[in-house]
Structures are given as C-alpha cells and as structure tokens.
Amino acid sequence: MSTLQPIRVTVWGEFRHEKNNPEVTAIYPDGIHEAIAAFLRPNADFSVRTAWLDQAENGLPQDLLDQTDVLVWWGHMAHREVSDEVVARAKSRVLEGMGLIALHSGHYAKIFKALMGTTCSLKWRESTDKERLWNIAPAHPITQGIGEYFEIPAEEMYGEPFGIPTPDELLFISWFTGGEVFRSGATWQRGHGRVFYFRPGHETYPTYYHPQVQQVITNAVRWARPTVCIPDACPNAAALEPLPEDPAAAVRPTQGFR
Amino acid sequence: MSTLQPIRVTVWGEFRHEKNNPEVTAIYPDGIHEAIAAFLRPNADFSVRTAWLDQAENGLPQDLLDQTDVLVWWGHMAHREVSDEVVARAKSRVLEGMGLIALHSGHYAKIFKALMGTTCSLKWRESTDKERLWNIAPAHPITQGIGEYFEIPAEEMYGEPFGIPTPDELLFISWFTGGEVFRSGATWQRGHGRVFYFRPGHETYPTYYHPQVQQVITNAVRWARPTVCIPDACPNAAALEPLPEDPAAAVRPTQGFR
Amino acid sequence: MSTLQPIRVTVWGEFRHEKNNPEVTAIYPDGIHEAIAAFLRPNADFSVRTAWLDQAENGLPQDLLDQTDVLVWWGHMAHREVSDEVVARAKSRVLEGMGLIALHSGHYAKIFKALMGTTCSLKWRESTDKERLWNIAPAHPITQGIGEYFEIPAEEMYGEPFGIPTPDELLFISWFTGGEVFRSGATWQRGHGRVFYFRPGHETYPTYYHPQVQQVITNAVRWARPTVCIPDACPNAAALEPLPEDPAAAVRPTQGFR
Amino acid sequence: MSTLQPIRVTVWGEFRHEKNNPEVTAIYPDGIHEAIAAFLRPNADFSVRTAWLDQAENGLPQDLLDQTDVLVWWGHMAHREVSDEVVARAKSRVLEGMGLIALHSGHYAKIFKALMGTTCSLKWRESTDKERLWNIAPAHPITQGIGEYFEIPAEEMYGEPFGIPTPDELLFISWFTGGEVFRSGATWQRGHGRVFYFRPGHETYPTYYHPQVQQVITNAVRWARPTVCIPDACPNAAALEPLPEDPAAAVRPTQGFR
C-alpha cells in the first residue's frame, strides 16, 4: 500500500456568502472551501486543491477535473450560475470513476441533481435547531471514529421527505429539536463513481470546524477514491458463441407468434 | 374497485424507421407505437392514445402529459430530436407520479437517461441471436402470467455491463445465443413515479406481436399507475416543537468546537 | 376485480400482558389481537381470524397457515415459547407467498428474526415520549391516506441503530421527544412473500385505537396480499441448448489452468 | 497502512467428496479447503488457517472464530452435519463484524441460509456446460483485475430463479451453454459483517485452480475484512432531551383517539 499515489482532492466552493454576508465572513474568512481544505490537507495521503464559482470555467476546467480523484462540493445561492458544460464534464468524470461528496445545500447543485435524476427537494428552516446525527451504519468506512451519534448545537433544519432515489447505503439520520428527521448521510454508486451526500454545513454556523463533521468528510474522501477510470462506450460486439444462420422463420412480420 | 377511473396510457413512438425502412414497414405498417397501442386497447381498464416525434411539441404538449397516467416510450435513431423542454416536462410528470415504461433502445432516450443519472450504455449486436428472458421475480405484479422464462426467436443483442443505477427490483435476466447476458427487465422509483425498463423490441423483428412481451407490457402499465400526484416543492417549514431561544454559544465562529 | 376472493387475514397475538397486567387489560380487554382484528373486520375485502400463543400449536396449525394470506403478528414477553416447528412452517409460508406484518416488539419474534437473518436489536425506553412518524414514501400503497406525518402522544421509544438488513423500501422514520430516531416502517421481499415491519404499539398505550395506525395496518394487509404460491424446490434441470460433448480437457486436475 | 495486522482467514471445507470420490481426490488431493488456502497464503497481508467438518466442534470452536476475520466456506453433501450450535456462533460472529465468503454449494450451508432468511434454492445440472461470468460491477473492489468477463470451460450449472434476498450489490451474472443465467457473485451486509456469495467450484472440476476464480476470492477476502467488532445488545436508553412529565391524557384507554 505504500506505493499508493495520494488522493487528489478538489474542494469546490461557491464563495459568495463569504464575501457578501459579514456574518458568514466572520466564520469563514477565506471561504467555506478553504475551511474544508484546511482540515483535509494535514492528511499525508491527500493532495488538496480548491476551486470556486467565479474562476474561469467555474473553476473546473477539463484538465483539473481529469486530475481530480474526489470532488467535494459546497454551493447554495448560485447553483444556476454553474454552466451546463461544466456540469456535463463533472458528471462524465463521476460516471467514469471520480468520487463526489455533496455537502449541505449541494443537494440542489446541478451536478448532484443530474446524478440523482430526482427533485432533491426537502423541507427547511433557518433556525436554532440542535441537530443530532444518529450513526445507523457503524461498520461503514465513512462512519469510522464517529460514535453512536454526534450533535451540532445549532444548524439549519432540513426535513423529510427528501426527494432522492433510495440510497444504496443510509449512514446517518438526523433528529432536529423542532420535530423533524432527515436522511443526512447517504451513498449512491453512479456509473463507476461513488457519491456521498452529507447534510450539515449552513453558512451562518461554524459547522465545518466541528470535529466529527471533519472526520466524516475525511473518511468520505478515502471511501470515494476511484478504483477505475472507464470512459463511456456503447460498443458493437461480435458474438462469443456460434449464432443461428437463418432465423427467417422468426421475421415473418405479423405471423411470427400467431 | 369498480369506481376506478381507467388508466390513461400514452404510447409514444419515434415513428421513423417505420417510414424509412421497408423491412420495418412490413412488420409495423402503422408504426411500433400503434402495434403496442393495439394490444393495450382491448383492456377495459385502459384508455389508450398514441403520440409521435414529428407531431407538434414532439407529440407531448403539457395538457396531454397532464392527462397521462402511464407513458410508454419507444425511440431509437432520433433521441436528440426530442426537445429538452419536452423532456423536462415529462420528467417533472414522472417525479410527481406518472409511470414511465421505457422499451428497448429507449435506454438511450433523453427522458430515461435524465431519470437514471447514468450513461445507460450497453453492448449491442444487430444479429440473429435467440433471446431467452428468465423471470427472476415470479411474485412481482409485472411478471404475472409469465412462466419461468420465455424465448424470442431472433432479436438484437444487448449485453452487460449496462450503465444503470442498481435497480430497485430486477425482474428479468436475458440469455443470448452469442454468449451474453443482460438485465432486461428492471424497476426504479423516481420521485413519486414508477419506472420500468424492458429490453426486447428491435424494429426489424416482430417482437411486439410476441404474446409474453405483450403480457409484460400490459402488466407493467397496471403496475406503473400513479398512486399520487405531488408537484415539486421545497417548503420553508415552521417548527413543530419549541426551539432553543439563544444558541449564541454555538455561533462563535472559529472557537465553536475547540 | 369484483371476483377477487377476500384476503384471509390471521391476527396473531401473544395475549399475555392483557391477562397479567391490569393496566393493559384496561386498554385491551379482549387482547391486542382482537383490537387489531376489530378495525380490520369492517373491510369487505378482508376475512379476519385471530389466533394466540396459548392455543394448541401456538394457534397456528398447518391448515390455518395454509389458508392465511396475510399474517399479522404481535408478541413481546414470550417470543421463546413459540415452538421452532411453528416458526419453521410460518417461515415456509412466507417464502412461498404469504404476507407478514410484524408489529412493535415483533421485531424480536422468532419468525421476523428468521426472515431477516440479523439481530433485530434496537435501543428502547419505556417512557412518555411523543412519537412523530414522518412519511418518507408518500406514493407507496402502505402510506395512502396518511399525511406528511402523524403523531402518537405517548409511546415506548425504539431508537437506532436497528439491527435489520437494509430495507427494500423505507416508509416511515420516527422522531422521539427524548432525542432518538427510528426506521419505523419498512418492507422486505422474502422469497415470494412480502414483509412489513411497523413500530408503534406498546401494550400500555392505546396505540391500536389511533386512526392512522389503523390506516397503515389496513393498507399493509392489502399490499401484502400474495400474488403467487410457489413451494420451495431445488430442481435438477435438463439443458435447453446443446451442450459440448467432451470437456475432458477441462478436467485434467491440477494442470487445468496452468 | 503498514501497521495493519494481517487479515486472519479461516478456510472451512467439508472435506468429504475429496476422501470418498477418486475423481475428486485426483483434483483436490488435500481437500478443496487446502487448494483455496494454497492460493491465499502467498499474500503477505493474509494469515491463513484451514478447518473442516470432521474436526472437533466441526473445526470451528469459539476461540478460533473469535480470531477469524474472514471465514471462507465450502460445503455440499453434509450441510446437516454442521451442528446448530456451531452455526449460531458463526452467525453471531458475522453479525458482530466477521466477513463470510460462501462458495458454490455453500448457498445451501446452514450459515448462509440463516443469514439470508430465504430458501437459497436454485436450478442445477451436473453437466459439461461452459460458464461465462460477466463482470457487471467493474468498479467494485472484488472485481479488480478481472476483465469484462471470464470463462470456466466446464462447470456444474446453477440457474435462476435463485432464492436469495435482493443483493446489496450484484457483481457477476453467469451465462451457461445450456441456456441458463445466474446471479453468480453478490454481496450483502448482515449486521456489521460483509457477506459475499461466489458460485463457481463444483468438486469434479479444477475450478479453484482457475486464475480469475482465485483473484475474485483473494479480492473478496480483502473486501470482507471487518471494520468493527460490535457484539449484539438491545440497550435500555435514557432520554437525551427532556420528556413530558404527565402524558396521562394519552393513556385513557379506549377513548384515546376518539
């Protein structure tokens, strides 16, 4: 295992609230993406870059995506400004093997919705709820080092029903003070890529400084590492066994099965 | 149950091969969509219409979709000509409850790919393979009246790997003479709608006259009938239980969890 | 549909708390099984019987099971007293097509554990929690007529992690006052039978008089109705296609693949 | 990763055919279990032992199981001779975290059936079929190094329907000369343990000398390594949030919801 290349992580941030809202700037002065990158970088097996919306090509040119093993995504107010071309290339990369970790309001990111095929809608409330995340899959690689549950003292509420396809694996269910529940950690295989959605992370709370939130995202990066890179193909294939030579009897149109 | 309204079925066909290729015209003189509609119509609990690509709005204006319970889809050479707007409205209808049955090369229809979120690619061969469909879910409503397996004497081959998300339910696996296998009948829930993919139906073979193919599609229409119609919403929700009044301690930015 | 035979429902109760604990007797004087049967019986499409632990063969002789379409199960303090033979015959019936609805502490019934293959353990507290069940699958037949959520003013708490295999369909997630969550309604296909687990129903609370609890169980009976009855078999099968005559080259022991 | 302990593998064999049937003895003179152990042992990260039916406690005393990370199982003619006590302790170990790899006729082993909860029955033919295993999950850890498909020149046929619960992950589908298909590689999570079923391996063919069969089993051992060891518990749990003090209104028996 010692010869493994580092996992090339790109943390993508929208980086708007952090510039426009002093309350958010105070918490994340360098942006949410940099706060996430900061706790990932000390891992010797990670190689971490950041990118953001207002860069050229929304920060995600083809060559950067080609050199990304796991893409971490935080967006909220400007999902529509991510170009369809960038979304298409990121989706192709996931389908050929790249991992994707969608955080919090990333449930509504174009890339996440395109991979799920559903509305990804939910119930929400900007409030003072406590969130308690119950670990319902303690043997999963993403939940290692997390106890039975952990609490975030104040968070935005997201509630069911959550408009996602049935997850391949459900890892966390959240309890909120205000009376709601939410499937707050879930995985899906899409093509050859692994996708993880993780709920916490409203911009007005210091959620990404929470040790267990950091542990989950760190674990998820390792879990989402690609095993293969298989570009899309729809090949015409020769037969491997002898075929019947004359199926003419079958093709007599309307009498075939009568 | 006697007061149930009929299931409003719209059978959509591309209707191009049938006009351009005499071999296909000979088998399906009125189009594949009409051949399918013909075996659905005798069911007293169905109300069946047809639509096709070259009609206005690709045959699928909003009001027709709004009055469709189950949409049956056959397309092949002209997937790209279906407008993105029509695809978006059909997808919305599935997510709010409409059933969708995608047939054969409909694996590559924009509507199917948008709901799956994956490539939907596969291996293929226009040939003389016999296809034997094994029924691996004999208790499922869609496989009622189908025996342990059935055979189609000559069909195009579709082989694995098939670029789909893991099906919610796998109903049929095909064996082909040439040595391949394929997940040829599978279901997915997408939003509030039920989706069924069914492989057989190459245009140069009289597959839609096959009694068991007809039985499967007929069963699938009943299975895909909507139970609800719930339009997309992402509601702001008031708390159902008392909230803490002052979570100020939680929001002290970089010291929150240190 | 008018010619359908009624669904033959057997409601099985342990019927011990109701005799031994005056608090329970006051709520369910005729037993929990009779309270459940009472709200099922008015449905014209149901034919309802009851059975209980202290009858001969634990109330479930072979002929009664053979004439049961859907078995509803409530047990708690005496799971071990159900004989292994009765469990084996009930399990065989589920695998060949009979529906099973396991209620509340039925998570620990031998029949449920044998079908799940797991511990079925959970966290619990006999207390005064309010339970709010969120409906996360509003298009499912079992949740029809149930709103976005419903509340039970006081119930025993069951909390995650719940030691079950990943459900085929997750229908309800519960919120409890005390801070826990639970997957409180879930389905599994086992063989040709449909299994539904539904959490509410502690014996010291009048839960089975709750209108939405009654609605869910009533819906579940219809959903669990058998489509087939296919006894277990492991058949020796003749080939459907010609086989190679002499694979001798393959069977030369240790040189086969070297 | 260099500090990881070796994976402790126990390969269990029935070891009867190899003594009683000269044809089998010629292929597997030391037993099938030893042939499997032989290709696992050269892996530096594995520590491999063998065990067999006719040893004391069927070769699986508690302390050996406690020191086993992954149990590989081959049995066929004597499933019933494995004691229920041994099966119960092996099942407990899987549920608390141990991996299990069930091979070929191990589909009918008590331990596998107990974990699945179903009949595990299938269609079969001792014959000269070629088996071609299609890899339908090329990104899965178990299929690494396996191409698009691989062939076994002669094998016993196993055909659908296969009486298993829907796999969490379906990895291989087999094509047989005689016209059948089979889900020949599949995974399930059971409790905290990972379970893999892999079809090939009839005793009269040298299947366990096949390089890709060996690769799959080797990969599966690494995949099935435990992440945790969590013994079964069903804990009484104190509330994490304040509870209502007097829910008396709720417990007025038959008037509760009227």
Q: Residue range B145-167: average pLDDT?
A: 98
Query: Which residue, A135, D125, B125, is CA-closest to C160?
Result: A135
Sheet-wide strand order for B46-52 = B46-52, B7-13, B70-74, B99-103, B193-198, B181-190, B169-176, B123-135, B149-159
Mean pLDDT within C137-155: 98
Q: Would you state the pLDDT for residue B247?
A: 56
pLDDT per residue over D157-169, tens digit each? Answer: 999 999 999 999 9
The pLDDT confidence band at residue D245, using thresholds 50, 70 and 90, is: confident
Helix (H, G, I), strand (E, B) or coil at C100: strand
Q: Report the alpha-carbon distance of residue A122 to residue D29 in Å, rounded.
A: 62
* Residue A35 Cα distances to A15, A44, A214, B9, angstroms: 11, 18, 10, 52
- C1-C3-C4 Cα angle (round to 5): 70
Average pLDDT, chain B: 94
Residues of C in contact with D168 (CB under 8 A): 166
Q: What is the mean pLDDT of chain D?
A: 94
Residue C258, pLDDT above cutoff 80 = no
Q: How far apart are the first and last CA of chain A?
A: 62
Give A4's contacts in chain D (Cβ within 8 Å).
1
Other residues' Cβ atoms within 10 Å of the Cβ of residue A80: 9
Closest Cβ opposite residue C136 in set A136, A160, A179: A160
CATH class for the region spanning B7-118+184-232: alpha beta
Contact between C256 and D206 using a beta-carbon 8 Å cutoff = yes
Q: Please, are residues C10 and C49 in contact by the beta-carbon 8 Å criterion?
A: yes
> In the predicted model, what is the mean pLDDT of residues A118-125?
98
Q: pLDDT for A165-211, tens place per residue?
A: 999 999 999 999 999 999 999 999 999 999 999 999 999 999 999 99
Burial of B213 (0-12, 13-18, 19+ CB in 10 A): buried
Other Cβ atoms within 10 Å of B55 Cβ, number: 14
Question: What local confidence, expressed as pLDDT, does residue C178 receive?
Answer: 98
Say whether residue D26 is in contact with chain C using an 8 A CB cutoff.
yes
Does residue D236 belong to the interface with chain C, where contact is any CB pair within 8 Å? yes
Question: What is the residue type of C7?
Answer: I
Contact D230, D224 (CB under 8 A): no
Q: What letters, b where the CB count within 10 A reaches 16 and e where it falls short, cover D132-159?
A: bbbbbbbbbebbbebeebbebbbbbbbb
Instruction: Tell me how far apart the alpha carbons of residues A237 and B124 are, in angstroms, rounded to a whole number.
Output: 6
Residue contact C134–A173, C-beta within 8 A: no
What pLDDT, on the 0 to 100 scale, is given for residue C247?
Answer: 56
Q: What is the pLDDT of residues C183-208, one digit of tens each?
A: 999 999 999 999 999 999 999 999 99
How much of chain C exceeds pLDDT 90, in percent?
Answer: 93
- Residue A1 pLDDT exceeds 60: no
From the list D152, D168, D253, the residue facing C166 with the nearest CB is: D168
Both tokens of C102, joined, read 């396991």
By percentage, how much of chain B surpasses pLDDT 90? 93
At B81, the pLDDT band (50, 70, 90 cuts) reads very high
Render pLDDT for B100-128 as a digit per residue (tens, 0 to 9).
Answer: 999 999 999 999 999 999 999 999 999 99
Whole-number Cα distances in Å, A202 to A23, A129, B251: 12, 12, 11
pLDDT of residue A49: 98
Average pLDDT over residues C117-122: 98
Interface test with C, best of B96, B146, B149, B189 (most C CBs within 10 A): B189
Q: Which contiguous run of DSSP H or E holds residue C171?
A: strand C169-176
Class of A7-117+185-232 in CATH:
alpha beta
C-alpha dist (Å) from residue C196 to A156, C95, D83: 33, 14, 31
Checking if the pLDDT of A248 tops 90, the result is no
More confident call, B4 vs B165: B165
Six-digit token string for A59: 């920060």
Distances in whole angstroms, Cα of residue C211 to Cα of each of B124, C151, C207, D256, D257: 54, 11, 9, 10, 7
| A162 chain-C contacts, CB cut-off 8 A | 136
Instruction: Identify the DSSP state of B236.
Output: B
**Full-prediction pTM beyond 0.90?**
yes
* Amino acid D248: pLDDT: 52
C241/A contact by beta carbon, under 8 A: no
Per-residue pLDDT band at C244 (split at 50, 70, 90): confident
| Closest to D155 measured CA to CA, from D124, D187, D129, D181 | D129
- pLDDT of residue C246 exceeding 90, the answer is no
pLDDT bucket at B4, cuts 50 / 70 / 90: confident
Q: Give the per-residue pLDDT at B39.
A: 98
Average pLDDT over residues C119-125: 98
pLDDT > 70: percent of chain A: 94
d(CA C162, CA A141): 18
Chain D residues closer than 8 Å to B137 by CB: 161
SS3 category, D252: coil
Under an 8 A CB cutoff, do A134 and C174 touch? no
In this complex, do B139 and C2 lie within 8 Å of one another by their Cβ atoms?
Answer: no
The C-alpha atoms of residue A133 and residue A195 are separated, in whole angstroms, by 19
pLDDT of B73 above 70: yes
- The answer to whether D73 touches D36, Cβ cutoff 8 Å, is no
Q: How many angstroms separate the CA atoms of D49 and D45, rounded?
A: 13
For the record, the structure tokens of C257 come out as 């693949």
Chains that touch B (3 or more CB pairs under 8 A): A, C, D
Beta bridge partners of C48: C9
| Mean pLDDT, rounded, for B5-13 | 97
Looking at CA atoms only, how far is residue D205 from chain C in angstroms? 5
Beta carbons of A179 and B244 less than 8 Å apart: no
Nearest CA in chain C to D188: C165
Cβ contact, residue pair C181, A173, below 8 Å: yes
| Pairing verdict, β C123-135 and C149-159 | antiparallel
Average pLDDT over residues D143-162: 98
Q: Are A72 and A217 in contact (CB under 8 A)?
A: yes
pLDDT at A246: 59
Contacts for B236 with CB less than 8 Å, ≥ 6 apart:
A124, A125
For residue B152, give the 3-state DSSP assignment.
strand
Amino acid at C29: P
Beta strand C149-159 pairing with D46-52: unpaired
Nearest 10 degrees: CA dihedral of B208, B209, B214, B217? 10
CA–CA dist D193, D101 (Å, integer): 11
d(CA B244, CA A178): 9
Angle at A134 between CA A132 and CA A138, to 5 degrees: 150
The CATH number of C7-116+186-231 is 3.40.50.880
Alpha helices in D22-144 (DSSP H): 22-27, 32-40, 62-66, 84-96, 110-116
Instruction: Please report residues of B whose CB lies closer than 8 A to that of D136.
Output: 160-162, 183
Q: What's the CA gap between C17 and C7, in Å, rounded? A: 29
Half-sphere exposure of B69 (CA within 13 A, CB side): 19
Q: Of the candidates C63, C62, C73, which has an alpha carbon nearest to the alpha carbon of residue C15? A: C73
Structure confidence by residue, pLDDT tens digits, B191-206? 999 999 999 999 999 9
Average pLDDT of the residues in C15-38: 97
Distance CA A56, CA D36 (A): 55
Nearest CA distance, B57 vs chain A (angstrom)? 23
Q: Which of A77, A162, A155, A157 is nearest to A122 (CA)?
A: A162
| CA dihedral sign of residues D176, D181, D187, D189 | negative
pLDDT at C252 over 80: no
* Closest CA in chain D for residue B170: D166
Share of chain D above pLDDT 90, in %: 93
Is residue D232 packed enough to be buried (19+ CB in 10 Å), middle (13-18) or exposed (0-12)? middle
D232, D96 contact by CB (below 8 A): yes
Token pair belonging to B250? 């939680």
Give bridge partners of residue D240 from the DSSP assignment.
none
Minimal CA separation from C112 to chain A, in Å: 20
D93-141 confidence digits (pLDDT tens): 999 999 999 999 999 999 999 999 999 999 999 999 999 999 999 999 9
Judged by average pLDDT, the poorest of A126-140, D177-191, D234-248 is D234-248
DSSP letter assigned to residue C236: B
Name the least confident of B55-64, C220-229, D241-250. Answer: D241-250
Mean pLDDT to the nearest integer, A26-46:
98
Q: How far is B227 from chain C (nearest CA, A)?
A: 6
Q: D121 and C189: CB-CB below 8 Å? A: no
Report yes or no: C231 at the D interface, CB cutoff 8 Å.
no
Per-residue confidence (pLDDT) for residue C125, from 0 to 100: 97
Percent of chain C residues topping a pLDDT of 70: 94
Q: Residue A51 is encoded by which pair of tokens?
A: 């990118």
Three-state secondary structure of chain D: CCCCCCEEEEEEECCCHHHHCHHHHHHCCCCHHHHHHHHHCCCCCEEEEEEECCCHHHHCCHHHHHCCCEEEEECCCCHHHCCHHHHHHHHHHHHHCCEEEEEHHHHHCHHHHHHHCCCCCCEEEEEEEEEEEEECCCCCHHHCCCCCEEEEEEEEEEECCCCCCCCCEEEEEEEECCCCEEEEEEEEEECCEEEEEECCCCCCCCHHHCHHHHHHHHHHHHHHCCCCCCCCCCCECCCCCCCCCCCHHHHCHHHCCC
Distance CA C60, CA C82 (A): 10
Q: Say what the pLDDT of residue D163 is.
A: 98
The three-state secondary structure class of D113 is helix
Q: Which residue has the tokens 């509601």?
A: B235
ipTM of the complex: 0.94
The three-class DSSP label of residue C193 is strand
CB count within 10 Å of CB C10 equals 24
